[in-house]
Amino acid sequence: MAPVDIGERLRALPGGSAVTLKLDPREYADHYFAVLNATLRDVGTETDAHTIYVTVTNPASFVWGLAQALDVAQDRISFVDAISHIMMDYRNPLPNATYIESPRALEAIMLRVEYLLRRNPHPRSIVVIDSVNSLAIHNPPELLTEFFHILLNMLKSRQVLTVVLEVSDEEASAVETMLNLVVDETIDVAREGP
């Protein structure tokens, strides 16, 4: 699926939807950029849209660099960065980012997302979680399941479009099984790729 098609599918989803975007690890760089293009540029630059990007895999500074390459305006995106502290990579903190000590601080991630939704009220809010795999490395499955149930239900009740990135492998994992219980749709970027 071309990046524009992913963006069209995401734009067609009503507020309150939750979708998983599955990326193939063998094509990760291409798929990741296609997903950023779809979420940050295609959907995130809609009139009255604002994106909250939760970074657990790549630091906010890295994602912001790619967002700038896609001509995303700084006032269109906020970051909840849960990885920079661990990577010791927040020498130059972004003004549109809030930093959390660890990906294990799931409650802090939820509270920051909720705070940013109240601070940046927009008719079209998007939350991107990058990625469920990284969260699974740092958190036990039961805790992660509870986190996603609470977070996604809160976001659905606020009519927020939620996009969860997942790096898929050949066999369905416990993480994928858990996600299937809480998301409305799964888009396999590899299968529907160009």
CATH number at residue 35: 3.40.50.300
pLDDT > 70? residue 189 = yes
User: Three-state DSSP class for 165?
Assistant: strand
CB 174 within 8 A of CB 141: yes
Whether residue 173 lies inside any domain: the answer is no
For residue range 134-164, list pLDDT tens digits in order.
999 999 999 999 999 999 999 999 999 999 9
Whether residue 172 lies inside any domain: the answer is no
pLDDT band at 129 (very low <50, low <70, confident <90, very high): very high
How far lies 100's CA from each of 56, 61, 65, 113, in Å? 10, 14, 20, 11
What are the DSSP calls for 1-61, one per residue? Answer: --HHHHHHHHHHSPTT-EEEEEE-GGGHHHHHHHHHIIIIIIITTSTTEEEEEEESSS-HH
Whether residue 24 lies inside any domain: the answer is yes
- Who has greater pLDDT, 46 or 102? 102
Nearest to 118 by CA among 158, 82, 81: 158
Residues 6+ apart with CB under 8 A from 74: 95, 96
Angle between helix 28-36 and helix 3-12 axes, rounded to 10 deg: 50
What are the DSSP calls for 82-114, one per residue? Answer: SSHHHHT--SS--TTEEE-S-TT-HHHHHHHHH
Whether residue 169 lies inside any domain: the answer is no
Whether residue 143 lies inside any domain: the answer is yes
pLDDT at 168: 82
User: Three-state DSSP class for 76?
Assistant: helix
pLDDT at 178: 85
**Residue 144 belongs to domain spanning:** 3-162+184-188
Whether residue 194 lies inside any domain: the answer is no
Report the number of distinct structural domains present in the chain: 1
pLDDT at 192: 60
pLDDT band at 16 (very low <50, low <70, confident <90, very high): very high
Nearest to 21 by CA among 126, 123, 151, 116: 126
- Who has greater pLDDT, 4 or 94? 94
Whether residue 145 lies inside any domain: the answer is yes
pLDDT > 50? residue 4 = no
Whether residue 168 lies inside any domain: the answer is no
pTM for the full predicted model: 0.92
CA pair distance 35, 29, nearest whole angstrom: 10
pLDDT at 2: 44
* pLDDT, average across residues 22-27: 90
